[in-house]
Structure 1
């Protein structure tokens, strides 16, 4: 028994160590660290150097990593933000899954790739799922979780995770069509009962439990309670035939609105990142280089077919739900992989004889490659979307299709302030300006936000603020200033440069998302760059000094001095703090 335990400890140490090394290398190469985790799993796994002996135990821990990922997402996920994308989450996801299953079943049957329509339906179910873990990790690394395309992608992914539970309940019944309807009804009843119980627990039980534990002021007890809550609810959903991931996400939602949500998230982040690395490494272990090499032509074709095909299905759905061309393009290119939970369906399909061993190996290889390509695709997607939007045929189509819905700007407007982005920051900024009788023009790519602007009779342009087509309609040459409050760093940079090209004399105030962007945005032409974290710290410092009786004029002078040098003095402190943390 001792030898087995030592072997398991060796495997864990090897996986974490190799993941850290590979992650460091790819980070130096400016690639997402999860790519390093996948490579590490491939190298040390059974098809690589064969150093891992306790693969099943690693996979079990990897499931915990996925549960923690979804739990943290649930804690961070804003129900108010979810309302902005509720239509695409419910109707759009159902349409995407249904279309994918139907088209895959049709084409695979007609082309003779499967022996029966039932096998085609199974393949469609496998291909309909995208990767919550990979997309979420990539969005987090790029700081795009709260962007509109990030919210759209996460809404669809969460709905897909819920659908996984139904698929696991329904697919076995395909071998016996008489049981299909009862299996579907049973799965729906289980899901409804679970969500009703979760809502009740989140309202009456969990807040009281967390308050009682927090009053002990014991961080260990608090952490253990949070872990038990996350994994306990996840196991309940697993026993109900729903996905572990959905249970973990709902567990996060149940504490998202209580006072101790931020504390719970802070405790979970180190565990989440550690176990998540195990998950991605475990996926790498499934990749068989020999199978990939021997079937390289087939797999390359399948990868291209899957990624192009899924993007082609997803793009028009998002576009038809009122989102901008760029949002639809980025989202479709971010969701065009096969999800890691398709492995679960693949194993089930092999047991039910829906696929044979050769098809299983090809499916695993294709899935693994699409997961590896996802971070790169998400990195390139904004540039791809911008280039496509500038093609004359597409640009003309976008201009015509946008119609009256897309613009509400008086042709006589001048001396106005353009506000790019109508999220939490943009809304406050617009209110401050309008309260002082400034004319405001908002550029926003969320249909839900546009509806609010219509109700308040605020001039708006529907579209991506970094699009040249959109900026042409904003009368920047007549504007006084532009405030960039976009949640996406790359869009902020593109917009800033384009605005400066259109009107070299316009005043530009931009929101910085990190320390490194401050100088870059200044060089690109921003008159002022605002870093929210530093501004919060300065305001707290001002309040404290005022409370201590310091002269208000001297306080204002000290704060202004820090702002004038673009936070340079506090940036040094911030960087030192980060270095100490790592």
Structure 2
């Protein structure tokens, strides 16, 4: 028992360290798990030699991955992108499979192996590409839509491949296609049966479960449905992952989809990490060293071949060459379903160890190169095919000059996203002049066709701002959500001595001082202003005179929203933001007779070591006192601390124990 516990502890520690390091260098965490598996497996340090127990649990990682995929499956999205999904996506998978199958047969593998290899290498990484698109804010750009459409079809194809692989086990070459046909028929039958159950049985079942108001019962019901569907397909000789995918599809049409997705994520991420570790364990270091030249050659061939194929198909489908080459580079890698297919095929004896020992590392190398390929895609597309068609390379500044020459006392809107467009609508209502600039050429094109006074350009460049009429403008509004972009625009304007008022929109007030130092006249943090708007409505509806409401709101703004900082945290509250910065919170410390601070003044406690986090002292009689060095604390007083979790912990220790 101790040996098993120690091995699990080593696996977890290695996974945490490796994934942290890999994320620091923007390398997909999938590769961290594979490396952990490789080094703790039997071919390296041999910490874990018995793979069967690991593989049993790891299979459920694929099950929950397919369940999540089913939850995210949207028929409406698929129909909206149907030309890309079934046209581009279908052709890409079909042609990739044919070419790879032919190459595999030419090098002498079996028919079954060739089919698995073709299916596995035709797929790209949905997890890596969709995350990169989201982080780069490119999901709604043309190459983003093309990538998502192709990935949607690849996900459907992955499910079909997972149905087919079990059919290869125990089948001779002559009966292989008959076995595949029978498996597909069983798959379609079970698909229809489970979808019918999902339509008529699951909604009332989950309505009853939801009425219990118990998270535990809800999670157990989700696990029961997904695992029962997986067990049913497994019973009929199909992949468990297929049943999980169908279960996800069934639940995706209910009102509980997002809650289910949140509840299932911890199970999925943990078990999926274990699956990739088990794949890494199956690799042989000696084989990697022996076959390194084949792995490099296959990786280069896979990346170049897929990129060129997707580029050609996208151009044939009448998309721009820029979008075509960008999409090709985004989808040039292998994917996580390739690992799943090879693992399933290796377990059933369909694929030999020598084949998987070369092609699994090939997928690993291609995924490792994906962030780099994505980062160079804009440069490659621009170098090969120049600027986008409707953004003339040398003419857009003259267009800006012409558009702004009749404007004076106007507003310059830097950024024309949701916020910029909202501002423009109210300016139009008042017939106030404005001119907008945005770096997204497609948004510029769409809004320009609709009659908006918007132009393409980089607002951080002084020549562009001058062309927009900076000297004659009354106000400049920066609505980009990226703080670095806003600061760059501010520096550009203030360094040249322009005194135009500049209004900056931010998501919160974390960069308030930086922006003010950089030259912002006013800053509007969206979350803070939303809170103030709610407060003003509450006070008004409670009968507070309008002038008092106005005074409260203006006072909060003048004090830089200090009254809105820090909250009493709950069980699920985060202590750091998305960037890893500590969030401010409130914490109450009740003084008893035995506390170190009782009978002492605040000045005697040395709270400056903790950053002086005392917000207010509430006395037992209901009165409040502002923090003062000479204030004597008494038993029954409550000290309200305000700061980061580290500051609060240090201050509480000083108050309680000295």
Distance 1:186 1:342 in 2: 20
Q: Which runs of 5+ in 2 are unaligned?
A: 405-409, 568-573, 586-643, 647-658
Distance 2:91 2:491 in 1: 41
The more displaced of 92-101 and 504-513 is 504-513
Matched with 2:123 is: 129
Name the one with the larger helix percent: 1
Matched with 2:355 is: 359
What are the within-5 Å matches in structure 2 for residues 552-567 of structure 1?
Answer: 552-561=549-558
What is the deviation of 1:235? 4.7
What is the deviation of 1:258? 4.7
Distance 1:555 1:444 in 2: 39
Distance 1:188 1:432 in 2: 59
Q: Is the 8 A contact 1:418 1:474 kept in 2?
A: no
Cα separation, partners in 2 of 1:119 and 1:80, compared to 1, 3 Å: closer
Residues 167-225 of structure 1: CA deviation (Å, up to 9, x unaligned) = 35567689768874894597378448726853x55554433322211211222101111
What are the within-5 Å matches in structure 2 for residues 169-248 of structure 1?
Answer: 180=177, 183=180, 187=184, 190-191=187-188, 194=191, 198=195, 204-236=200-232, 248=244
Q: Which runs of 5+ in 1 are unaligned?
A: none
Matched with 2:308 is: 312
Distance 1:323 1:507 in 2: 42
Residues 317-368 of structure 1: CA deviation (Å, up to 9, x unaligned) = 4566677777655543343222233245446767999865433321122223
The more displaced of 344-353 and 304-313 is 344-353
Matched with 1:395 is: 386
Distance 1:233 1:150 in 2: 33
Distance 1:106 1:162 in 2: 23
User: Is residue 369 of structure 1 aligned with residue 365 of structure 2?
Assistant: yes
Distance 1:113 1:559 in 2: 73
TM-score by length of 2: 0.65
Distance 1:41 1:241 in 2: 29
What is the deviation of 1:163? 0.9
Q: Is the 8 A contact 1:434 1:440 kept in 2?
A: no
What is the deviation of 1:52? 1.6
Q: Is the 8 A contact 1:102 1:121 kept in 2?
A: no
Q: Is the 8 A contact 1:22 1:40 kept in 2?
A: yes
User: Is residue 384 of structure 1 aligned with residue 391 of structure 2?
Assistant: no
Cα separation, partners in 2 of 1:354 and 1:131, compared to 1, 3 Å: same
Cα separation, partners in 2 of 1:162 and 1:546, compared to 1, 3 Å: same
Cα separation, partners in 2 of 1:497 and 1:554, compared to 1, 3 Å: same
What is the deviation of 1:64? 2.7
Q: Is the 8 A contact 1:512 1:531 kept in 2?
A: yes
The one of 34, 37, 40 aligned to 2:33: 37
Partner of 1:163, secondary structure, is helix
Distance 1:303 1:249 in 2: 30
Cα separation, partners in 2 of 1:345 and 1:453, compared to 1, 3 Å: same
Quote the RMSD (CA, aligned, Å).
5.3
Cα separation, partners in 2 of 1:116 and 1:287, compared to 1, 3 Å: closer
Matched with 1:162 is: 156
Based on CA coordinates, which of the two structures has the bigger radius of gyration?
2
Q: Is the 8 A contact 1:389 1:395 kept in 2?
A: yes
What is the deviation of 1:446? 10
Partner of 2:335, secondary structure, is coil
What is the deviation of 1:304? 1.6
The more displaced of 428-437 and 504-513 is 504-513
What is the deviation of 1:160? 1.4
Matched with 1:342 is: 338
Distance 2:264 2:360 in 1: 31
What are the within-5 Å matches in structure 2 for residues 33-112 of structure 1?
Answer: 33-72=29-68, 85-106=81-102, 112=106
Cα separation, partners in 2 of 1:516 and 1:108, compared to 1, 3 Å: farther
The one of 300, 303, 321 aligned to 2:299: 303
Partner of 2:107, secondary structure, is coil
Distance 1:220 1:78 in 2: 27
Q: Is the 8 A contact 1:69 1:133 kept in 2?
A: no
What is the deviation of 1:128? 0.2
What is the deviation of 1:95? 1.6
Matched with 2:656 is: none
Residues 74-111 of structure 1: CA deviation (Å, up to 9, x unaligned) = 656777666654432332211211221233345566xx
Cα separation, partners in 2 of 1:364 and 1:115, compared to 1, 3 Å: closer
Distance 1:49 1:303 in 2: 27
Q: Is the 8 A contact 1:307 1:370 kept in 2?
A: yes
Cα separation, partners in 2 of 1:420 and 1:247, compared to 1, 3 Å: farther
Distance 2:424 2:246 in 1: 34
Residues 269-292 of structure 1: CA deviation (Å, up to 9, x unaligned) = 333332233233233323322211
What is the deviation of 1:19? 0.9
Q: Between Structure 1 and Structure 2, how many residues are aligned?
A: 554
What is the deviation of 1:553? 0.7
Distance 1:105 1:508 in 2: 61
Matched with 1:576 is: 583
Distance 2:185 2:438 in 1: 41
Q: Is the 8 A contact 1:511 1:531 kept in 2?
A: yes
What is the deviation of 1:41? 1.9
Cα separation, partners in 2 of 1:13 and 1:277, compared to 1, 3 Å: same
